[in-house]
């Protein structure tokens, strides 16, 4: 079983406008509402890959009700903790001749509500996977990831952490099964610029020395490099083509890697499925469908 944690989920309200004006009222040509949050993205792709999972985190108000309803409609299992101090946030995305994004801060969460989420984690058992993805919102204590990891560190749970900077560094002490920085984030961790695969391998191994078992580094146009716990280094490139969007690609890669490892226990296979998921999402306007992932995986399976 895989559990994902999204501490500050959102509804993304996307409005499409021909030309954005600042001297008059703008009228949209179309609108859509999507659910969002890095952990939720991981759960979405895992569900499409038929991997049993459950999305955890906080929701509140009528927007929280809508988010849960939308997830249920797409067959995504969730068990969010309800909060009383506000509503699940709405992010506004305006797509026109230029793009304008306004992300809401999100609701406040009480100490009691945090304690209730931590208590729920008691249900996670040995062999399960816990995915912590994204930054910690300002409305939550900065050490909440550490609290979660400390609670479960001796329970045989595999931790996956997709975070940046000091947040990622602090999680390394809990020996995560997988961390997934991109090449810029990896360099920033050590105050260097990673210019080639050799640089990436050097600093990925430093993360292993600090506690990470497997380090998956996404490298933009150059694909991804995996330094696994056996000492093997594997690099896989991207499928050629013009990407449609980068939103959710990293989350899709994490989901694919986790799914691949759970299916076969093989890191090379997990990397290929992770790359297939990430690339499939890059060529889609939304998170990739199962059909899009399968088509992309056919390419990687031949490598």
In this model, does residue 107 exceed pLDDT 90? yes
Read off φ and ψ for residue 83, nearest 5 degrees: -115, 160
Residue of 286 and 177 predicted with greater confidence: 177
For the four alpha carbons of 251, 115, 171 and 104, in that order, the dihedral sign comes to positive
| pLDDT value of position 85 | 85
Region 90-98 average pLDDT: 92
Which amino acids are annotated catalytic?
A: 251
In this model, does residue 35 exceed pLDDT 90? yes
Locate the domains of the chain by residue range: 2-9+37-87+106-301
Residue of 247 and 288 predicted with greater confidence: 288
The token duo for 11 is 């509804």
Do the beta carbons of residue 95 and residue 125 sit within 8 Å?
Answer: no
| pLDDT value of position 285 | 85
* pLDDT tens per residue, range 128-176: 999 999 889 888 999 999 999 999 999 999 999 999 999 999 999 999 9
| pLDDT value of position 98 | 86
Can you list the pairs that 192-196 forms with residues at least 24 positions away whose Cβ atoms lie under 8 Å?
A: none
Q: How far is CA 15 from CA 48, 178, 258, in A?
A: 26, 36, 33
| pLDDT value of position 83 | 95
* Range 2-9+37-87+106-301 classified under CATH 3.30.70.141: no
| pLDDT value of position 43 | 98
Per-residue confidence band for 112, with pLDDT thresholds at 50, 70 and 90 = very high
* pLDDT tens per residue, range 190-222: 999 999 999 999 999 999 999 999 999 999 999
| pLDDT value of position 250 | 95
Read off φ and ψ for residue 145, nearest 5 degrees: -60, -45
Read off φ and ψ for residue 137, nearest 5 degrees: -65, 155
| pLDDT value of position 87 | 96
How large a percentage of the chain has pLDDT more than 70? Answer: 100
Do the beta carbons of residue 175 and residue 213 sit within 8 Å?
Answer: yes
| pLDDT value of position 128 | 98
| pLDDT value of position 84 | 94
| pLDDT value of position 302 | 84
pTM of the model: 0.95
- Greatest Cα pair distance in the chain: 61
| pLDDT value of position 33 | 95
* pLDDT tens per residue, range 219-266: 999 999 999 999 999 999 999 888 888 889 999 999 999 999 999 999
* pLDDT tens per residue, range 72-87: 999 999 999 999 989 9
Mean pLDDT of the chain: 95
């Amino acid at each position: 079983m895989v559990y994902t944690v999204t501490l500050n989920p959102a509804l993304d309200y996307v409005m499409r406008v021909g030309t954005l004006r600042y001297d008059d009222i703008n009228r949209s040509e179309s609108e859509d509402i999507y659910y969002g949050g890095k952990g939720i993205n991981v759960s979405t792709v895992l569900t499409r890959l038929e991997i049993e999972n459950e999305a955890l985190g906080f929701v509140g108000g009528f927007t929280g009700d809508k988010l849960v309803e939308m997830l249920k409609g797409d067959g995504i299992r969730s068990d969010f903790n309800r909060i009383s101090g506000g509503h699940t946030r709405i992010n506004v995305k305006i797509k026109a001749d230029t793009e304008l994004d306004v992300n809401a801060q999100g609701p406040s969460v009480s100490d009691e509500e945090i304690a209730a989420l931590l208590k729920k984690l008691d249900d996670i058992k040995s062999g399960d996977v816990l995915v912590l993805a994204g930054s910690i919102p300002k409305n939550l204590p900065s050490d909440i990831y550490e609290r979660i990891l400390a609670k479960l560190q001796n329970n045989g749970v595999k931790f996956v952490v997709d975070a940046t900077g000091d947040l990622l560094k602090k999680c390394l002490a809990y020996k995560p099964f997988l961390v997934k920085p991109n090449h810029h984030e990896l360099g920033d961790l050590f105050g260097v610029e990673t210019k080639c695969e050799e640089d990436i391998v050097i600093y990925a191994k430093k993360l292993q020395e600090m506690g990470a078992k497997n380090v998956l580094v996404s490298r933009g146009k150059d694909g991804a490099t995996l330094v696994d716990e056996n000492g093997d280094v594997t690099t896989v490139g991207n499928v050629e083509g013009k990407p449609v969007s980068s939103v959710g690609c990293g989350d899709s890669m994490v989901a694919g890697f986790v799914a691949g490892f759970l299916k076969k226990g093989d890191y090379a296979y997990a990397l290929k499925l992770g790359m297939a998921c990430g690339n499939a999402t890059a060529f889609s306007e939304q998170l990739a469908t199962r059909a899009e992932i399968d088509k992309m995986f056919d390419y990687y399976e031949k490598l």
